[in-house]
Amino acid sequence: MHYLDHDDFQVICQVLSDFFKKVKDPPPNYNHTYFEKLDSIISIPRRTFDKKDLYPTLFHKAACYLYFINKLHPFNNGNKRISIVATGVFLRYNKYELDVDEEKLYAFAKEVTQSHKQDEEFKKVVDFIKNYSKRTDGRRFPDLISWLQYIFKNTKIPNFTPLKK
């Protein structure tokens, strides 16, 4: 299983910064991230109890990114979009992809943000991801930046040099 780390989130924020500038919204700034919250989100899909995964399936683990980024708001802006892209990146790393209309996915992320029934809502997120995920077509990208450039066509991503927290 391939999980997301700080470098992945930094790249996601860089790509989304360009996207937000195009739509004239304030972009997320990775340097202004609440790193304690992000550390928690990065660790959640890996959690175990009594040597058993608390999030046993790929879809449960993917739901952690969509759900907890929206609930904990670790970024200064763009948490819903970051949660969507992070979920997509995680699935792609693990040979799946989301196959759902962007507007429907954003509306669902917005709904997650506004809910207050954790157990019920988390199950709904797992089911949504499971219902709208499919195995990838086998297309390979050499790295995360190449894949995100493919998704966000015409987005120029500067050379990536990870920041140190």
Strand-pairing partners, residue 134, are: 97
Interior angle at CA 129, CA 156 and CA 96, nearest 5: 60
Residue 134: strand, helix, or coil = strand
Query: What pLDDT score does 14 carry?
Result: 84
- Confirm if 134 and 99 have CB atoms less than 8 A apart: yes
- Confirm if 61 and 131 have CB atoms less than 8 A apart: no
Compute φ and ψ for 55, nearest 5 degrees.
-120, 90
CATH class of 6-151: mainly alpha
The pair of three-digit structure tokens given for residue 107, joined into one six-digit string: 């509306």
CA nearest 18: which of 138, 160, 133, 135?
A: 160
Question: Does the pLDDT at position 48 exceed 60?
Answer: yes
Q: What's the pLDDT tens digit per position in 138-152?
A: 666 666 666 666 665
Q: Determine the Cα–Cα distance for residues 15 and 158; give it in Å rounded to an integer.
A: 9
Q: What's the pLDDT tens digit per position in 107-122?
A: 898 888 887 777 789 9
Q: Determine the Cα–Cα distance for residues 151 and 12; give it in Å rounded to an integer.
A: 12
